[in-house]
Amino acid sequence: MNASVIIRLLDQTDSDVLENVAAEVFDHAIHPRWLAEFLADSRHHLAVALLEGQVIGMASAVHYVHPDKPPELWINEVGVTSSYRGCGIGKQLMQTLLAHGRTLGCRESWVLTDESNLPARRIYASSGGREHSAILVSFQLE
């Protein structure tokens, strides 16, 4: 991997960092209102991989609390532009989020992925994740 790749967590003052994002890092174009809302919420976390000022990878997470459980970190997604996949950037992004979760007092972290998404499964396994069988139930709210 290129030594000049910088992995960092963004905060509410960093919206300008996402003005230069490589293709395929996010699923869709960044929406200004949703970006502002995401960054303003202290329980939302976004790690990015920067190369010469361009975001070439990201991983997002939410930490949440519940009245009867310690905080947990839910990893929402990891995205790396295709020309840098397989270089260890996804793993570095995951490690950054997991380390941040530890500083927040999170005792557990989890992520969902499709069984057929082998690249994601490799990233999660190389980051120390263990696969479990589960049933996913989703609801459309629109």
For residue range 10-37, list pLDDT tens digits in order: 999 999 999 999 999 999 999 999 999 9
**Which pLDDT does position 17 carry in this prediction?**
97
**Which pLDDT does position 129 carry in this prediction?**
92
CA-nearest of 27, 48, 28, 52 to 97 is 48
Q: How far is CA 27 from CA 21, 43, 46, 58, 81, in A?
A: 12, 21, 15, 11, 11
**Which pLDDT does position 93 carry in this prediction?**
97
Which residues of the chain are under the pLDDT cut of 50? 2
Domains, the chain, ordered by start: 6-126 (3.40.630.30)
Q: Label each residue of 20-66 as H, E or C.
A: CECCCCCCCCCCHHHHHHHHHCCCEEEEEEEECCEEEEEEEEEEEEE
